[in-house]
């Protein structure tokens, strides 16, 4: 047993309103520099949709993540020798067109244009070349189904569906979508780390944050393909890859990452998970059906005295264990089994989990009228069966969150439905007690658990949502080098402006 | 006198600057050590330039180095006529490959606005220096036949004399000007090394072959 701690995340998709506040908060802090304009370390995409960069989920195109070959887990991109021979040219690299070419506008023309018969315009100027350009795509071009024939209908997850299911999703009265906010998953078995020939990417032992050393990166650009989530980005100006750093400077001073802190829907939870690092390889190698269960099973109970002892033996400080016991992520992922990893079949063991979005209200237009007759619950049947009649086929959610195993997603949904029915029984009172109890049974849950889920979902305080462990990096540095010596020798961060080399 | 400066002084200057500045840059501004890939900005033409260029130039350079390091083995290798033919022919085709490659790379930097946008002055200097160098090499091989043989009796003794700090420039001063320029061009590139992206050569990530596939860094304890 090799117990380690990981700062982990849960995004509750039911609460996301798709406002992109998170993305903007991140951009303002980290990616407003030259070469990073196109990067969105945090982005929010509409699902179904092709996402950012386009078709990132299609690993036949980008070769991200791992695959099992002859029983062995190996990078889909290439073997070790392959990395050294493909190094001159990476055949699976997304280019700027797969994201979008960043631009600004020629505002000056509005002031300096000579007088004429028509209004002057501010034409788009590329932020790469400085030349005029035609805008063909931009961030969230497909937001809320914009251009859906091009985007939504090319979603790789639709492959899991039957023709009927696909048709039903685009039927006009039943049309449905939800938002999927994405940041780096700070995986346990990261593809980016494994793919980097220079060994520039690493996982911090103490908290599991995956970082990319700007000093060691040599622009071999394999991480961009290696990460199946496309969450490392190439800075075309400095010739270095960059990625989400989970706002570690904020975490180290006790604050939640900027995207978490700013989230308007309060969908985000942050907390520590303890896991057994010895089991990573096995858990990442099980058949697709069992991936979610294997993932859950390497996460350890922070209250178990044996685990605590093993954690302490591994040098995990008490503060970290304490944080793990209070972790909202542990509750959502392990205790309640509601939150699921995104595309576990990529086998990187992502440590960002999603509570799947609840199903839209079950009304439809009948004879030109809004007909919600089966919703207004006289009996329980409509609500209980809402899973089977969901507008988003369960198979679609399974393709996203459980490597195709719809039983896993269904179990999560049944519990969420139980919460809905039970709380309605309690607060509105139009559902009888027997019905509420039946819902609890169907969801495999209890009244206390439902109350707890409701509490943490609907009314959590900031301290309950973000249980930031004491990372105390300055203390850690003290062990190896006196902070004042370090300050004198190393200063804070870069001694040279991070500029492109010759 | 001029020959002395060129063939006995310049090589030392080039190598010393390359080593000193290269190390200085590595230890003081490692951030700038990068191959500065532009594949993200332009993908298609790059393939047809960078692949022939790198495979061509790396194999040829290795042959130069091999013949210099173990001249006896090299001599044995080309002692047989068929093998000599094969060697010369391979060399010529590889040289042609790198010329085509670098020409495409240069054309790409001129014609593709995005690829051009990230060019620095030194990038241009380097590209043209390399183009000149491979053309001179190709020309030498084409016009002054059997270079794989006479290289052993001209450049190699000269290089060894430089290595032994006892320059004997008479091994090379009588050679035709194209050949001499090619030799000086080599040292010019050595000189350019620390000031350009050529530094990416010494960062070839060989350790990837054996390093643990996952990297975990601890603040205090040694990784398992
Ligand atoms: C040791 C093995 C080498 C490796 C792994 C390597 C790798 C690379 C890579 C990844 C690039 C960037 C290509 C891109 O834009 O994506 C590059 C560019 C370049 N390399 Fe190398 N290289 C090697 C050896 C050499 C050598 C020996 C030379 C010349 C003597 C050379 C000259 C160049 C030049 C001039 C460029 C820039 C090309 C351009 O302008 O697009 N490389 N190299
Ligand atoms: S800020 Fe929160 S609610 Fe808004 S888009 Fe981001 S994740 Fe969704």
The domains of chain B are located at 2-209
Residue A224 near residue A22, CB atoms below 8 Å: no
pLDDT at residue A488 greater than cutoff 90: no
- In which band, very low, low, confident or very high, does the pLDDT at A379 lie, cut at 50, 70 and 90? very low
Pick from B209, B211, B53: nearest CA to B133: B53
**Pocket perturbation via mutation, ligand 1, pick of B33, B38, B132, B200 by most ligand atoms within 8 A of CB:** B200
- In which band, very low, low, confident or very high, does the pLDDT at A480 lie, cut at 50, 70 and 90? low
Structural domain includes residue A196: yes
Q: Hey, are the CB atoms on A220 and B205 less than 8 Å from each other?
A: yes
Structural domain includes residue A432: yes
CA dihedral A230, A236, A237, A239 (to 10 degrees): 80
Q: Hey, are the CB atoms on A205 and B216 less than 8 Å from each other?
A: yes
Nearest atom in ligand 1 to B126's CA: 35
The predicted pLDDT at position B223 comes to: 42
Residue A335 near residue A303, CB atoms below 8 Å: no
pLDDT at residue A245 greater than cutoff 60: yes
Place of tokens 């139009």: A430
Chain A: closest CA distance from residue B120 (Å)? 7
Q: Is A165 exposed, middle or buried (0-12, 13-18, 19+ CB in 10 A)?
A: middle
Q: Hey, are the CB atoms on A502 and B197 less than 8 Å from each other?
A: yes
Structural domain ending residue among the three candidates A252, A274, A297:
A252
Is residue A370 domain-shared with residue A245, that is, in the same domain?
A: no
The predicted pLDDT at position A240 comes to: 95
Arch. (CATH architecture) of B2-209: Up-down Bundle (1.20)
pTM: 0.92
| Residue A282 to residue A426: CA distance in whole angstroms | 44
Average confidence score pLDDT of chain A: 90
Q: Is A38 exposed, middle or buried (0-12, 13-18, 19+ CB in 10 A)?
A: buried
Structural domain includes residue A326: no
Higher-pLDDT residue of A438 and A389 is A438
In the A/B pair of chains, how many CB contacts fall below 8 A? Answer: 156
Chain A stretch 208-267, residues whose beta carbon is closer than 8 A to a beta carbon of chain B: 214-221, 224, 234, 236-240
The percentage of chain A sitting over the pLDDT mark of 70, rounded to a whole number, equals 89
Q: What is the mean pLDDT of residues A285-298?
A: 96
Dist. CA A263 → ligand 2 center (Å): 5
Q: Which residues of A touch B213 (CB under 8 A)?
A: 193-194
- Number of structural domains (chain A) is 2
pLDDT at residue B209 greater than cutoff 60: yes
Structural domain includes residue A24: yes
Q: Hey, are the CB atoms on A199 and B215 less than 8 Å from each other?
A: yes
Structural domain ending residue among the three candidates A460, A477, A495:
A460
CATH value at residue A208: 3.30.70.20
pLDDT at residue A202 greater than cutoff 70: yes
Residues in contact with ligand 1 (CB, 6 Å cut-off): A 87-88, 220; B 35, 37-39, 46, 50, 54, 57-58, 61, 105, 109, 126-127, 130, 200-201, 204
Structural domain includes residue A147: yes
Structural domain includes residue A4: no
Residue A160 near residue A186, CB atoms below 8 Å: no
The predicted pLDDT at position B183 comes to: 96
Q: Which residues of B touch A206 (CB under 8 A)?
A: 218-219
Residue nearest to atom 27 of ligand 1 (CA): B58
3-state secondary structure of A355: strand
CB neighbourhood size of A238 (10 A): 25
pLDDT in tens, A118-167: 999 999 999 999 999 999 888 888 898 887 777 778 888 888 888 888 87
Chain A stretch 176-215, residues whose beta carbon is closer than 8 A to a beta carbon of chain B: 189-190, 193-194, 197-199, 201-206, 214-215
pLDDT in tens, A3-19: 999 999 999 999 999 99
Look at A96-100, A211-215, A392-396, B63-67 and tell me which has the smallest mean pLDDT. A392-396
Region of residue B98 (phi > 0: left; psi between -120 and 50: alpha; otherwise: beta): alpha
- In which band, very low, low, confident or very high, does the pLDDT at B224 lie, cut at 50, 70 and 90? very low
Q: What is the mean pLDDT of residues A319-345?
A: 97
Which residues constitute the domain of residue A384?
A: 359-391+405-460
pLDDT at residue A459 greater than cutoff 90: yes
- In which band, very low, low, confident or very high, does the pLDDT at A377 lie, cut at 50, 70 and 90? very low
The bound ligand whose nearest atom lies closest to the alpha carbon of A140 is 2
| Residue B199 to residue B216: CA distance in whole angstroms | 27
Structural domain ending residue among the three candidates A237, A252, A267:
A252
Higher-pLDDT residue of B187 and A358 is B187
């Amino acid at each position: 047993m090799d117990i380690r701690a990981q700062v982990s995340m849960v995004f509750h998709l039911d609460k996301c309103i798709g406002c992109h506040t998170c993305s903007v908060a991140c951009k303002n802090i980290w990616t407003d520099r030259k070469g990073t304009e196109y990067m969105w370390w945090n982005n929010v995409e509409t699902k179904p949709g092709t996402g950012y960069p386009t078709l990132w989920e299609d690993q036949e195109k980008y070769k991200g993540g791992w695959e099992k070959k002859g029983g062995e887990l190996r990078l889909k991109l290439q073997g070790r020798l392959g990395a050294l021979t493909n190094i001159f040219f990476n055949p699976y690299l997304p280019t700027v067109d797969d994201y979008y070419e960043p631009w600004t506008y020629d505002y000056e023309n509005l002031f300096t244009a000579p007088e004429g018969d028509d209004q002057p315009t501010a034409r788009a100027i590329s932020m790469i070349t400085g030349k005029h350009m035609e805008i063909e795509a931009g961030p969230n071009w497909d937001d809320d189904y914009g251009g859906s024939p091009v985007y939504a209908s090319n979603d790789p997850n639709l492959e899991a569906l039957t023709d009927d299911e696909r048709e039903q999703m685009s039927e006009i009265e039943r049309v449905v979508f939800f938002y999927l906010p994405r940041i780096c998953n700070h995986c346990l078995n990261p593809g980016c780390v494994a793919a980097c020939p220079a060994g520039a990417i690493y996982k911090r032992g103490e908290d599991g944050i995956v970082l990319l050393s700007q000093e060691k990166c040599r622009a071999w650009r394999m991480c961009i393909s290696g990460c199946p989530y496309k969450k490392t980005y190439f800075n075309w100006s400095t010739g270095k890859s960059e990625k989400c750093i989970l706002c570690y400077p904020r975490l180290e001073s006790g604050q939640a990452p900027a995207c978490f802190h700013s989230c308007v829907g309060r969908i985000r939870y942050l907390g520590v998970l303890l896991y057994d690092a010895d089991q990573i390889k096995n858990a990442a190698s099980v058949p697709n059906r069992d991936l979610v269960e294997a993932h859950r099973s390497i996460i350890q109970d922070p209250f178990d005295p044996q685990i605590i002892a093993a954690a302490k033996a591994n040098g995990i400080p008490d503060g970290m264990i304490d944080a793990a016991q209070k972790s909202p992520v542990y509750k959502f992922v392990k205790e309640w089994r509601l939150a699921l990893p995104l595309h576990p079949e990529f086998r990187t063991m992502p440590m960002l989990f999603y509570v799947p979005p609840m199903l839209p209200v079950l009304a439809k237009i009948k004879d030109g009228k809004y007909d919600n007759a089966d919703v207004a619950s006289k009996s329980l049947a409509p609500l209980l069966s809402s899973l089977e009649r969901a507008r988003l086929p369960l198979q679609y959610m399974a393709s996203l969150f459980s490597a195709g195993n719809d039983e896993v997603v269904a179990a999560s949904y049944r519990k969420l439905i139980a919460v809905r029915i039970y709380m309605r029984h309690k607060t509105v009172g139009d559902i009888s007690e027997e019905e509420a109890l039946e819902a609890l049974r169907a969801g495999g849950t209890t009244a206390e658990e439902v109350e707890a889920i409701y509490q943490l979902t609907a009314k959590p305080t900031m301290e309950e949502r973000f249980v930031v462990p004491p990372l105390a990096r300055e203390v850690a540095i003290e062990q190896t080098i006196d902070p004042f010596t370090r300050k004198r020798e190393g200063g804070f961060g870069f001694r040279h402006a991070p500029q492109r080399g010759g | 006198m001029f020959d002395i400066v060129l063939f006995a002084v310049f090589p030392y200057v080039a190598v010393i600057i390359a080593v000193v500045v290269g190390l200085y840059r590595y230890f003081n501004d490692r951030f700038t050590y990068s191959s500065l890939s532009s594949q993200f900005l332009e993908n298609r033409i790059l393939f047809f330039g960078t692949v022939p260029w790198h495979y061509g130039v790396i194999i040829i350079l290795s042959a130069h180095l091999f013949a210099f390091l173990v001249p006896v083995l090299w001599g044995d290798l080309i002692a047989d006529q068929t093998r000599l033919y094969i060697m010369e022919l391979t060399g010529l085709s590889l040289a042609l490959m790198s010329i085509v490659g670098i020409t495409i790379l240069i054309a790409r930097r001129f014609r593709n606005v995005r690829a051009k946008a990230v060019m620095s002055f030194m990038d241009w200097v380097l590209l043209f220096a390399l183009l000149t160098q491979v053309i001179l090499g190709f020309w030498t091989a084409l016009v002054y036949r059997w270079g794989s043989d006479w290289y052993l009796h001209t450049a190699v003794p000269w290089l060894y004399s430089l290595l032994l700090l006892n320059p004997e420039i008479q091994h090379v001063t009588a050679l035709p000007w194209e050949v001499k320029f090619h030799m000086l061009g080599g040292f010019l590139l050595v000189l350019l090394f620390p000031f350009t992206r050529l530094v990416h050569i010494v960062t070839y990530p060989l350790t990837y072959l054996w390093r643990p596939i996952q990297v975990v860094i601890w603040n205090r304890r040694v990784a398992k």
